[in-house]
Chain A
């Protein structure tokens, strides 16, 4: 599996080059990538279906408990299949849809990275690896939402999604670390059998709160739902893929995955149940005033995400069954409808549902596809969505205390979902034809095939539910509940309360739809007062943060280098001096006065150069004097046997002088020399730093310097690091990960310098 993921990242990196080469037919090339991955996972299907589990582990940073361990069981195989199958439809579709965009090659890079990361997320068997892929999906989602980065709304939405999901991601990491503290391992498999230990631990409430915060932000649960409708700024294939079928289900996956190990308590179940049902009801109502096809779909997605979360909260075997069927059904029909919405936008030039109508003659295939997916979404026999909704109702009805209010909420929410379906799946195609900005034609094959296949799969799974779903359900239930369900999935149960509820839902949905159409235009534009909207709180938080940042920048970063230096030096001295005086009586100062002639000479040169440096009236002279001090110190390093440090010092000093000379041109002469009071201040600071350094040196030399590390590195350098230069072996081998971090920081610093110097608006100096 790690090999498949490695191939995934490599293939994504190749995408921009291949796109440039095969522009026209790139869709057909791109689709092979998810199909290949899909085949790679499905070859394990017989093994997993028989109850087997595929495990794989490569140590990465074993000392930190981070291993590249992966696990393929029913749950992850189901998700992997959804991700790659819908990925195939989306990749093919995007091959045609993205043609008009600039940098479409980059789009395929991002979406390929996303697909691979999402696969990594559902396969990960190590919490920290899972977190890494989790963050990668957030980042690729950020890049994809902001793909039209010339539009301010795109950038804003991308940032919003990143901040909300990224903030949740941090909480998730904290939760994982606490969980690791409790169990002593970050391996997911190691959690098995520790349920008692975890749930009775004092950290347990914190673990639940943090992990659920991560899951709720990612899966856009109320009150974090607001980023998802805004994420519709992304190109439509992205909305179909990330923001309905896959990424937003990551939080749900996590809750399902951990349900067995840390769930089962009232705290866990109730939190999930309440968040889920609130999301299901509230967000579906928000769809009432929406007019944009994609926004309508986004609100119904939110409602479904809430329903899925609610089912996990109920947690009964029947609820898990409903969860599983509904999950698959939703991915299939919602992916399809998003792609249909994209086709409509592409062909007519508008996504405003009020402007669309009567397209059935011009776009017959799209009409059929949309109808098929819509029937599934509304829960009509014989599609898989029907089974999904039936099972959801049935599992809610099973509840004793909360059954009645929850079933009311579920029916109400689904009525709004039916309204959305009527608006998106039928209204654009039926009725009288309307004038649109573009003249619509049937979409090209690449844009018909993917959604068509997904819609047909919805029918296939509805007619033959035992084909794939039942087997995978059985195995997934083992992962979620650790018990076998033994439940059969049937399309038709006969006429019972649940079926009646289904009819009520359809009827109520039709009613809401009629009501919406009957309302005057202006009623749809009524807005909710800001303060009760969670997005208002988000905006205020961001504004407030920027205000504080501006204030703090004015105070601390005032642009005067001398102030920065004063702050840095004072902080260093005051803290360290305190520690020094605490240990003063342990110091026995016995300076060694045996000096050689050249040491004296060097000291003399340094003192003279320093004197020149501070008294000089010209910059050039100061720079040269500073260079002299630097080189002299380099020579001291040579004398005291630190040739590596000396070599680096010499190189740095040389470059320093060059940099100074470059800057020097641009600076005015010393027009204003410091006044006497400033000089006194500077002298005091310089003097105290000098005394402080002297003290430190005396202090350090008065102790016997012996350290295990020194001996270890000196001894291990040649046999283990294969080098005699201990300093270098430490840098590139023993502590190479530190060096890697440092050079990464350096590279970012170079980008910063470049941005500051070169990317300013023209004419600004």
Chain B
């Protein structure tokens, strides 16, 4: 059940929703949002695209296997735990660097950690959605 309106809209919505998800991710530290919610929103954006354009189109616009996103997410999250060790602080202590740039302000390892969560949630949800969708095609 291909719908031209949905297919066209989904292309713009995908971009908007992805931007919104990244916005949620970065805003999470001070306002409602965060990696988990951001990842879920990003996943629904791709899911919407998949509903409108089919599995193959969704896979190709994602470019990588969702499982790789899961691995990347876990890797980034793990990575964020390391700087504290090298700075001689306890494992997983947050390290913050003040960039001094307006709008960006301080950047720290918890943000990196949150990015990891974002990627992981995105990857897992899409792994499940795509796997289930593939079942249909069999």
**A residues bordering B, Cβ < 8 Å?**
58-63, 68, 643-644, 646-648, 651-652, 654-655, 658-659, 662-663, 665-666, 721-725, 727-729, 731-733, 736-737, 739-740, 743-744, 746-747, 749-751, 753-754, 757-758, 765
- Taking a contact as CB atoms under 8 Å apart, the answer to whether A724 and B29 are in contact is yes
Q: A725-B28, A743-B116 are in contact. Are A750 and B123 (CB under 8 A)?
A: yes
By a CB distance below 8 angstroms, the chain A residues around B34 are 644, 725, 727-728, 731-732
Q: Which residue of B24, B40, B127 is within 8 Å of A754 (Cβ)?
A: B127
Inter-chain contacts of A662 with B (CB < 8 A): 129, 132-133, 135-136
Partner of A723, one of B29, B116, B127, B135: B29
B104 to chain A minimum Cβ distance, whole angstroms, is 13
B134 at the interface (CB under 8 A from A): yes
CB of A643 within 8 A of CB of B32, answer yes
CB pair B129 A732 closer than 8 Å: no
Contact, CB under 8 Å: B44 / A651: yes
Give A658's nearest chain B residue, CB to CB.
B47
Closest to A733 in B: B110
Report if A743-B125 is in contact (Cβ < 8 Å); known contacts: A60-B91, A733-B110.
Answer: no
Contact A743 B29 (CB under 8 A): no
CA distance A647 to B111 in the complex (A): 19
Q: Are A659 and B90 in contact (CB under 8 A)?
A: no
Residues of B within 8 Å of A, CB-based: how many?
56
Known A659-B129, A722-B106, A725-B31; judge A59-B36 contact (CB<8 A).
Answer: no
Q: Nearest chain-B residue to A647 (Cβ)?
A: B37
Contact B135 A743 (CB under 8 A): no
Name the distance in Å between B1's Cβ and chain A's nearest Cβ. 11
Contact, CB under 8 Å: B94 / A721: yes
Q: Which residues of A contact B70 (CB under 8 A)?
A: 747, 750
Given known contacts A644-B37, A665-B136, what 14 new A-B pairs fall within 8 Å (CB)? A58-B85, A59-B88, A647-B32, A658-B129, A662-B133, A722-B106, A725-B28, A727-B34, A733-B110, A736-B81, A736-B110, A743-B73, A746-B120, A746-B121
Residue among B34, B96, B113 having the largest count of chain A Cβ atoms under 10 Å: B34
Q: How far is the CA of A59 from the CA of B86 in the complex (A)?
A: 10
| A753 lies within 8 A of B125 (CB) | no
Whether B14 is near chain A, meaning CB under 8 Å from some CB there, is: no
Pull 26 A–B residue pairs with CB atoms less than 8 Å apart, ordered by A: A58-B85, A59-B88, A60-B90, A651-B40, A654-B44, A659-B128, A662-B132, A663-B132, A728-B28, A728-B29, A731-B34, A732-B111, A732-B114, A732-B117, A740-B113, A743-B73, A743-B74, A743-B77, A746-B120, A747-B71, A747-B124, A749-B124, A750-B67, A753-B131, A754-B67, A757-B132
Shortest distance between the CB of B62 and any CB in chain A (Å): 15
| Contact B125 A655, beta carbon cutoff 8 Å | yes
A739 touches B117 (CB 8 A): yes
Separation of A765 and B137 alpha carbons in the complex (Å): 12
Minimum C-beta distance from A307 to chain B (A):
41
| Chain A min CB distance to B119 (Å) | 10
Instruction: Determine if A61 and B29 form an interchain contact, defined as CB atoms under 8 angstroms apart.
Output: no
C-alpha gap A648/B34 in the complex (Å): 10
Lowest 6 CB-CB distances: which A-B pairs, in order? A651-B40, A723-B29, A643-B32, A757-B131, A724-B30, A750-B124
